[in-house]
Amino acid sequence: MPEGDTVWLSAKNLHEALAGSVLTRCDIRVPAFATVDLTGQTIDEVASRGKHLLMRIGDRTIHSHLKMEGSWHLYRPGSSWKRPEWQARAILGTADWVAVGFSLGTLEVIEREAEEDVVGHLGPDLLGPDWDAELAAERLLRDPEVPVFVAILEQRNYAGIGNEYANELCFLIGAHPTKPIGEVDVPRLVQLSYRVIHANKERATRSTTGDLRPKQTSWVYGRKGQPCRRCGTRIRQGELGPTELIQRVVYWCPRCQPEPA
């Protein structure tokens, strides 16, 4: 699933291309909203909120969430697309651009005043104007027994962190993914979360190691069986989540991130 910085950059690019322009085409390929036609209206703003993307047009908002495979692309009119048309769930055209939302996990058109109904549950946004480090730390500690990995991924605590960052942050603070959040240095965790996502928000290649070379960008994520970059111990892989039905892949170094007693 894309991290919050991916959604932030998509919103930034869409805003720069579309804001202030009039829609010349509006094709929403979701049955519940297929009859919505915003043609002739002006795109006021495109913004991100955590992993949600909000395209504000008049008194409506096109709300999307990329989920696992979604993405927004920008094309010049008449140019070829990089993904097949059958994957397009939204096509929005202006005189200069065509914005295509492919394989969007969530796509709906709502009243702008109802935005809080879809994003109001989110915690402070690491990349948003509402960022509040103290509030994020407070929310992370609401249940001190929750595994740190699970707490990091809970968007109600703070918004924008996905699976890759969650694994990397656990390594950076030296915490096993199952260690209770109440036993870690939460202010440091929050500070690191802010630093890594801001360092990567405009990069084509995400890196938590500071190295942008291929296969050198992560400490533990996606590195099962490979040697730890710090101590040489083989990286392990498992699954962890808030319930047995919701499990995410976790990676850790058994020496740098010792299992809790």
List the catalytic residue out of 3, 154, 164, 168: 3
List the catalytic residue out of 2, 124, 147, 177: 2
Helix 163-172 and helix 186-200, axial crossing angle in degrees, nearest 10: 130
234 is annotated as an active-site residue: no
How far apart (Å, rounded) are the C-alpha atoms in residues 73 and 99?
6
Instruction: Tell the burial category of 138 from Cβ atoms under 10 Å away from its Cβ (0-12, 13-18, 19+).
Output: middle
How far apart (Å, rounded) are the C-alpha atoms in residues 210 and 226?
19
CB contact at 8 A, 174 and 203: no
CB contact at 8 A, 96 and 77: yes
The residue written with tokens 């892989």 in the block is: 237
Helix 186-200 and helix 4-18, axial crossing angle in degrees, nearest 10: 40
248 is annotated as an active-site residue: yes
Please tell me what DSSP assigns to residue 234: B
List the catalytic residue out of 49, 51, 139, 201: 51
258 is annotated as an active-site residue: no
User: Hey, what amino acid is at 90?
Assistant: A
The residue written with tokens 């991100």 in the block is: 48
Instruction: Tell the burial category of 244 from Cβ atoms under 10 Å away from its Cβ (0-12, 13-18, 19+).
Output: exposed
- Comparing CA positions, the residue from 15, 13, 62, 14 lying closest to residue 37 is 62
224 is annotated as an active-site residue: no
List the catalytic residue out of 139, 179, 206, 248: 248
Residues marked active site are found at 2-3, 51, 248
